[in-house]
Amino acid sequence: MHANADRIRTLQKYLADGNVELAAQTLVDSISGPGRWASLPPEAKQINIDNMATVTQTAPPPATSCEQVAKFDFPILLVHGERSPKIYFAMSAAMRKCKDVPEPTVIPYATHGMMRDNPEAFNAALADFLKRNEGTR
């Protein structure tokens, strides 16, 4: 059984029982590590709670092969928050094994919500990427 399928079934059960906060906590802790939910500020918790209905309705993304990644013919910006879940770093590393893609830009002091955690650094990284790649597409 796939771990994500198990997680989705658990979340669906909590949501059917009306326990949206427990569903959100389970999701956050399963992705970011045990105890992460407890460390979130109330605003971040509310964002997760508000988005719980969509989590179980979205099909998992299709697998992407190295052959597909190798065909990407556009500039790629990999960006992570310094405190993003490790799975995102692993995904970037896997992509970089398929194609010569620049190292990820890491936004200091930020989680996966880097545009909220450190908007100045995120916007600067994005603006720099756009400037470097202006006219390439």
* Residue extents of the structural domains in the chain: 3-55, 66-132
Question: DSSP state, 84?
Answer: S
Q: How confident is the model at residue 5 (pLDDT cuts 50, 70, 90)?
A: confident
Question: DSSP state, 113?
Answer: -
Residue 34 in contact with residue 6, Cβ under 8 Å? no
Query: Cα 97 vs. chain centroid, distance in angstroms?
Result: 19
pTM of the model: 0.68
45-100 per-position pLDDT tens digit = 999 999 888 887 766 667 789 999 999 999 999 999 998 888 889 989 999 999 99
CA distance 41 to 44: 5
Could you tell me if residue 18 is left (phi over 0), alpha (psi between -120 and 50 degrees) or otherwise beta?
left
**Hey, what amino acid is at 41?**
P
